[in-house]
């Protein structure tokens, strides 16, 4: 009977074959591990981008909804039918605002008026003449604030003035689009103060159909950005010292 010439038939060759296969297994295993690691890394990368995209989309949607809500709030503002308070504060920025505030004082809606943000070169006599206000009324019941340079300053000076005169409520007179930010700043400066909003709407703005007017849209967008930034500041640090 002849011996089988195949190498497998040699009993001594079997352990060597096993050792060879055993020696190859780690290399094969590392190849699979490297391939799986690359795939896993790509999946993590895609997942990060997907999460980032979702967050950015959510933030963009929030901004759009917030702006539409802000614009609708401004467009729907109307002066109260019977405003009453201890005093009136009007923020400069247009003669119409001052005229409305003076008219409220003449109607005895409040005891006293503060015109905040007056140019240092403007005199009380000039304002009285421009608004056709009686000199005696202006002399007795109107105060001028020349320190405020912005809305924060308006709020700080109005709060100090209200505390000095022990006023617990104020009629706030300013433009409708400016009212949300101005009211927020004033309440932040003096939380215990009751604020009665008296918005002034310029006819040329035509807020009823603001979405059809590029100029009005730009104005509302600018004010919305200022309001959003001010709101973030107020919620974190409040009103800056020194206004």
State the average pLDDT for the chain: 84
Q: In the chain, where do the E strands start and end?
A: 87-91, 112-116, 142-145, 169-175, 194-200
Is the pLDDT assigned to residue 15 strictly greater than 70?
Answer: no
Question: What pLDDT, in 10s, does the model give residues 40-72?
Answer: 777 777 778 888 888 888 888 888 999 999 999
**pLDDT for residue 49:** 84
What would the two tokens of residue 76 be?
Answer: 């729907």
Mutual angle of helices 214-236 and 179-189, in 10-degree steps: 20
Q: Report whether 228 contacts 66 (CB < 8 A).
A: yes
Q: For the residues 180-195, what does the mean pLDDT come to? A: 96
Question: What pLDDT, in 10s, does the model give residues 88-100?
Answer: 999 998 889 999 9
**pLDDT for residue 37:** 58
Q: Report whether 190 contacts 162 (CB < 8 A).
A: yes
**Cα(174)–Cα(91) distance, rounded to whole angstroms?**
6
Q: How confident is the model at residue 207 (pLDDT cuts 50, 70, 90)?
A: confident
CB-based contacts of 226, cutoff 8 Å, min separation 6: 181
**pLDDT for residue 170:** 98
**pLDDT for residue 28:** 46
**pLDDT for residue 10:** 53
**Cα(236)–Cα(182) distance, rounded to whole angstroms?**
18
Question: What pLDDT, in 10s, does the model give residues 113-143?
Answer: 999 999 999 988 899 888 888 889 989 999 9
**pLDDT for residue 163:** 96
**pLDDT for residue 14:** 53
- CA atoms within 13 Å, Cβ hemisphere of 167: 25
């Amino acid at each position: 009977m002849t011996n089988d010439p195949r190498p497998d038939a040699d009993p001594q060759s079997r352990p060597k074959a096993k050792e060879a296969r055993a020696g190859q297994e780690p290399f094969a295993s590392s190849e699979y591990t490297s391939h799986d690691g690359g795939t896993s890394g790509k999946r993590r990368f895609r997942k990060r981008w997907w999460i980032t995209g979702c967050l950015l989309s959510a933030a963009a949607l929030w901004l759009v909804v917030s702006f539409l809500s802000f614009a609708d709030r401004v467009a729907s503002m109307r002066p109260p039918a019977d405003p009453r308070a201890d005093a009136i504060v009007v923020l400069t920025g247009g003669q119409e605002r001052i005229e409305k505030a003076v008219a409220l004082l003449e109607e005895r809606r409040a005891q006293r008026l503060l015109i905040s943000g007056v140019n240092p070169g403007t005199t009380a006599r000039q304002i009285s003449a421009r608004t056709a206000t009686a000199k005696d009324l202006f002399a007795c019941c109107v105060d001028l604030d020349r320190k405020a340079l912005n809305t924060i300053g308006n709020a700080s000076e109005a709060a100090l003035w209200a505390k000095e005169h022990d006023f617990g409520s104020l009629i706030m007179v300013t433009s409708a689009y400016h009212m949300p930010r101005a009211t927020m700043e004033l309440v932040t400066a003096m939380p215990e103060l009751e604020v009665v909003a008296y918005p002034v709407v310029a006819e040329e703005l035509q807020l009823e159909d603001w979405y059809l007017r590029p100029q009005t849209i730009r104005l509302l967008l600018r004010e919305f950005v200022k309001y959003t930034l001010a709101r973030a500041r107020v919620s974190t640090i409040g009103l800056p010292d020194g206004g």
